[in-house]
A and B are shown apart, each in its own frame.
Chain A
Amino acid sequence: MEIKIHGWESKGIAGVDMKIDLNKPGSKTPTKIGMIWLDSGGGKTTTHELIKACLTGKTDKLEEEYKKVNGKPSKYERRKDDDHYAESADFTLKVSFGAEFYRFIIHFDHKAKTVDMDTEAPRGYQEGYHPPISAIPYLHEKFVDLFILDGEHAKKAIQEDSGMADITLNTIYQLDRFDDINESLEIYFKKEKEKSRGNVSDKGKITQIENKIITLKARQAELSTQLRVNTKKKLETIAKLKQLQKEVGKINTDEQAKRDKLADKEKDQIRLKTAIDSVKIEIFELLKKPHHLSSHIAKSFISFTKNLRKLDLPGDSAKEFFQNLVKTPKCVCDEPMTEARKKKILKNSNDYIGTAHSNFASSMKQDVRDFIMNEKEGSQDKLAKCHTDLDLKIGELLTLDRQIEILRKNVKASSGRSFDVIQEDIDTCNATIAVIELFIKDYEALEININESARPKDIKSKNAIKALLKLFNSKLNLGHDLHNKELKIEEMKVFIEAIKNEAKEEYKKELIVAMNSQLDEIIDDDKITITSIDAEINFNGGSTGQGLVVAYVFLIKAFEQANKANKFPLLVDSPAAPIGPRYRANVAKMISKLSNQYICLLQGGERAWWCKELYNNSKPDITALTIFKRTKYYQKYFNNPDENLIEFPNAGMVDGYKFLALFDSELETQDFVNQIKNVYPNFDEKLLNTLLMEFEKQRKIEAQEVENV
């Protein structure tokens, strides 16, 4: 299928009224080339914009123009003092999609400041924008921008850092859809996140748990750092300790005697400490029995036992005796056991102790006899002896400690430091190691029953932190799913991007081959070779002016390659102006060899070197139209009209290349100068004058050629 533009009609819109028919005479097929010259202010740019709006259906931008101008005429509206001012205006584009003909009509209501659109399709006239469904993928704005373009847009494709080539490839090969998909994945995840948060009833609690997790992780990192620092410190301390022990080992001969004495004393010290520990154990054993504490307690126990014996307890005092008595038919007094007697005896039995108590009393009696009354050696004497022994030994130890201390001060190592100073260092090292080992022990401890309300800074075990993290994370169960989804989406996005890039590289390879082949065909004098396509198209040979040829070939070949069965028209606003005079002929020649429909909207200064080549190389498959305003300057064309003149209220139009080539444009030279300055801002004035002379000469030659024909 091929999209073709057959013409358009403009009524009441800023600029001139016009009715463009690009079809070959008596045919429904447009000529391959359409060359339309419009005088300055004729509405060339407006026409370009409206064609684009018709194809995309985007009329909202047109309507926005009313708001921008704040009550003044919009860019699509004529001035109110214009003789041809109209309150409404229409623009109609005639297009074919394959064999189907469509008309898109844009209505401007300048009074109501509204813009509407209608579609005339094979199935009938409909309000709104209704293109054929199969063409929709190619009628979105970004895509249409690539075939309804202006010269500047095409030029950007070859400009360094413009990124235009890359954007174009993404659009033509539909690679931008991968970006759309990745973007939708991002939005999807964002929504999922919001939804999950919304489902949690207690957001405060979630935040609290999340904060706890953060704090715990911080504590985990802190402990981990401390472990590293402490492990290093421990190794250093152990090394220092070894050094100190070596220092202690190195001693002068003179000091040896002192040292031997010190060693003896230290041995005594250890012996004495062991002896003290033994006495302490003995005292504790004695203190386990209360009667050893005081002779009064022992006497009380003996007296208690004697009293029990006197009372002949517990043998006859058990209340079970009375309880058994009531079961006999007769009482001990040989009287019958009546109910009244039974009741009285049972009541009295409560005044006597039972078997359990009497057994306890019997045991007590036996223990007092065995351990207190029959004890061979007086335990209290033994305890007193132990105390005395302990006091003596402690006193002895204190004396020994003092002696050792003095000896250590006096005994000096080879280093000159006294033993006590060295010992102090050794003690410090040992204390440091002990603290570190305690830290490591705590760090490695298996704390299973950890309290979840524990403050993180109080937690010393890594296992406790792990357990708590597990606990809190399980409380945030929802968060896990979300987190997994996030990881999944990130992975997907990378995968999608990789596919996109691989596809793009493949397209580029094919495109470069196709472009070079096309360029070989159309440029024979100054060969151009495409080397790569990155953000822009890179090529060897050629010149700045010919760069635009590259841009056209790039667009056309990319369209062809991406949509082998499809062809798009190229409609270009001011195609020759950005090229510069030197290369115009070459580009025009190349364009005439393209298989796509090509329509150019020309302005003053663009005819020279361009129209002649385009015409000579395309005829008769070309339409050349000249549209001029109904002004004083152009009145001559109305007074003495060409046979092909079509008159509109504010303009005239003539079909035919001869008229176009000979047409006397009011601002031709000025427009040309402006274009040159636009392409080459620092153009030398002298050179410009020379170029201007060349331009005038060329115009005359071309006119003469036409006259001769």
Chain B
Amino acid sequence: MSEKILEVTHKIIIKACKEKKQMDFNNALVKYIEFLNEERSLEEKLDFADRLVESYNKKEVSPQKELIDGD
């Protein structure tokens, strides 16, 4: 039995991540899904969640700006 991610799911992840230019995130997400093939502890999951967050590129917004621009 394959432990890999299902083919259709994998293709859709790659396509979506390419469009968003999130290839690091693509890799981390696929690894995380495969990692969930087995029952995992919360600590293990949080470790992967951390890697996933790190892999995602987002232009950070200054909360000051957000607060100040309230007017």
* A contact residues vs B (CB 8 Å cutoff): 1, 97, 133-138, 140, 173-175, 177-178, 180-181, 184-185, 187-188, 191, 213, 217, 220-221, 224, 462, 466, 469-470, 473-474, 479-480, 483-485, 487-489, 491-492, 495-496, 498-499, 502-503, 506-507, 510, 562-563, 565-566
Judge whether A487 and B58 touch: CB under 8 Å: yes
**In contact, B36 and A213 (Cβ under 8 angstroms):** no
Given A177-B33, A485-B53, A506-B12: A135 and B1 within 8 A (CB)? yes
Query: Are the CB atoms of A221 and B60 closer together than 8 Å?
Result: no
- Is the pair A496, B29 in contact by a Cβ cutoff of 8 Å? yes
Known: A138-B1, A140-B39. A483 touches B63 (CB 8 A): yes
B16 contacts A217, CB within 8 Å? no
Bound Cα distance from A473 to B70, whole angstroms: 14
Within the complex, which residue of B9, B45, B68, B70 is in contact with A184, where a contact is CB–CB below 8 Å? Answer: B45
In the complex, residue of chain A having the shortest beta-carbon distance to the beta carbon of B36: A177
A sample of 22 cross-chain residue pairs with beta-carbon separation below 8 angstroms, ordered by A number, consists of A97-B1, A137-B1, A137-B3, A173-B8, A174-B36, A180-B45, A181-B33, A187-B46, A188-B49, A188-B50, A188-B53, A217-B70, A462-B71, A469-B68, A470-B64, A483-B63, A485-B53, A498-B16, A499-B13, A503-B13, A506-B8, A565-B2
Contact-residue bracket for chain B: 35 or more
Chain A residues, Cβ within 8 Å of B9:
173-175, 503
Report B-chain residues with C-beta under 8 Å of the C-beta of A506.
8, 12
Give bound CA distance, A232 to B50, whole Å.
Answer: 52
Chain B residues within an 8 Å CB radius of A175: 9
Are A220 and B71 in contact, with the CB atoms below 8 A?
A: yes
Contact residues of A: prevailing secondary structure = helix
Within 8 Å CB of B1, what residues of A?
A: 1, 97, 134-135, 137-138, 563, 565-566
From known contacts A483-B63, A489-B53, A495-B20, infer whether A184 and B12 are also in contact, taking CB-CB under 8 Å: no
Q: Is the CB of B64 within 8 A of A184?
A: no
Contact yes or no, B60 A181, CB < 8 A: no
A177 to B62 alpha-carbon distance, docked (Å): 32
Contact partners of A217 in chain B: CB under 8 A: 67, 70
Whole-angstrom distance between the alpha carbons of A466 and B62 in the complex? 14
Q: Which residues of B contact A499 (CB under 8 A)?
A: 12-13, 16, 29
Q: How many A-B residue pairs have CB under 8 A?
A: 124
Instruction: For B53, list chain A residues within 8 Å (CB).
Output: 185, 188, 485, 488-489, 492
A495-B16 contact in complex given A484-B61, A489-B53, C-beta closer than 8 Å: yes
| In the complex, chain B residues 6-62 whose Cβ is within 8 Å of any chain A Cβ | 6, 8-9, 12-13, 16, 20, 22, 25, 29, 32-33, 36-39, 42, 45-46, 48-50, 52-53, 56, 58, 60-62
Of A135, A184, A224, A470, which contacts B71 at CB under 8 A? A224
Distance in Å: Cβ of B70 to nearest Cβ of chain A: 6
A473-B12 in contact (CB<8A):
no
> Can you list the 10 inter-chain pairs with the closest CB atoms, starting with the nearest?
A188-B49, A184-B45, A137-B37, A473-B64, A483-B63, A484-B60, A184-B49, A134-B1, A488-B58, A177-B36
**A181-B29, A479-B63 known; 9 other A-B pairs, CB under 8 Å?**
A137-B1, A177-B36, A180-B45, A181-B33, A184-B42, A213-B67, A221-B70, A499-B13, A565-B1
Contacts of B16 in A (CB 8 A): 495, 498-499, 502
Minimum CB distance partner of A174 in chain B = B6
Among residues of B, the one whose C-beta sits closest to the C-beta of A474 is B64
Q: Which residue of B lies closest to A213 (CB)?
A: B67
Q: How far is the CB of B21 from chain A (nearest CB, A)?
A: 12
Give the docked Cα–Cα distance between A455 and B1 (Å): 68
Give Cα A44 to B17, complex, Å: 49
Residue from B61, B62, B64 having most chain A Cβ neighbours under 10 A: B64
**Smallest Cβ distance from B60 to chain A, in angstroms?**
4
Contacts of B70 in A (CB 8 A): 217, 220-221
| Chain A positions within 8 Å of B61 at CB level | 484, 487
Q: Output the least CB separation between B30 and chain A (Å).
A: 11
**How many Å lie between the Cα of A487 and that of B59 in the bound state?**
10
A188 to B49, CA, bound (A): 7
| A177 CA to B20 CA, complexed, in Å | 21
Task: Flag if A180 contacts B36 (CB, 8 Å).
Answer: yes
* Chain A residues, CB < 8 A from B49: 181, 184-185, 187-188
Query: Which residue from B13, B45, B67 sits with its C-beta under 8 Å from A469?
Result: B67
Residue with the highest number of chain B CB atoms closer than 10 Å, among A178, A180, A184, A499: A184
Residue of B nearest to A138 (CB): B1
C-alpha gap A281/B34 in the complex (Å): 92
Residue pair B71, A473 in contact (C-beta under 8 Å): no
Hey, which chain B residues are within 8 Å of A466, CB to CB? Answer: 68
Q: Name the one of B13, B32, B46 contacting A191, with C-beta atoms under 8 angstroms.
A: B46
CA distance A488 to B6 in the complex (A): 27
Set of chain B residues within 8 Å of A185, measured between Cβ atoms: 49, 52-53
Contacts of B68 in A (CB 8 A): 466, 469-470
- Give Cα A495–Cα B49 distance, bound, in whole angstroms: 15
B66 to chain A, nearest CB (A): 8
Shortest distance from the beta carbon of A234 to any chain B beta carbon, whole Å = 19
Bound complex: CA A177 to CA B36 (Å): 7
Q: Which residue of chain A is the closest to B22 with respect to CB atoms?
A: A495
CB distance from B7 to the nearest CB of A (A): 9
User: Which of B42, B50, B63 contacts A480 (CB under 8 A)?
Assistant: B63
How far, in whole Å, are A126 and B6 apart by their CA atoms in the complex?
32
Q: With A187-B42, A506-B12 known to touch, is A469 a contact of B60 (CB < 8 Å)?
A: no
User: For the complex, what is the distance from the CA of A480 to the CA of B63, rounded to whole Å?
Assistant: 6
**Residues of chain B lying within 8 A (CB to CB) of residue A134:** 1-3
> In whole angstroms, what is the CA distance A672 to B4 when docked?
46
Which of chain A's residues have a CB closer than 8 A to the CB of B52?
181, 185, 492
**Docked-complex contact A503 and B8, CB < 8 angstroms:** yes
In angstroms, how far is the closest chain B Cβ from the Cβ of A399? 53
Docked pose: A180 CA to B48 CA in angstroms: 12
Closest residue of chain A to B62 (Cβ to Cβ) is A480
Q: How far does the alpha carbon of A484 sit from the alpha carbon of B63 in the complex, in Å?
A: 8
**Chain A residue at minimal CB-CB distance from B32:** A181
The answer on a CB contact under 8 Å between A473 and B67 is: yes
Return the contact of A492 from the options B38, B45, B56 (Cβ within 8 A): B56
> Which residues of B lie under 8 Å from residue A462 when comparing CB positions?
71
A373-B70 Cα distance, complex, nearest whole Å: 71
What distance in Å separates the Cβ of B37 from its nearest Cβ neighbour in chain A? Answer: 4
| Residues of chain A with a CB closer than 8 A to B50's CB | 188
Residue of B nearest to A97 (CB): B1
Q: Which residues does chain A contribute within 8 Å of B58, judged by CB atoms? A: 484, 487-488, 491
Taking CB atoms, residues of chain A closer than 8 Å to B33 are 174, 177-178, 181
Contacts of A224 in B (CB 8 A): 71
Cα of A498 to Cα of B19 in the assembled complex, Å: 13
Q: How far is the CA of A42 from the CA of B5 in the complex (A)?
A: 42
By the criterion CB–CB under 8 Å, are B46 and A188 in contact? yes
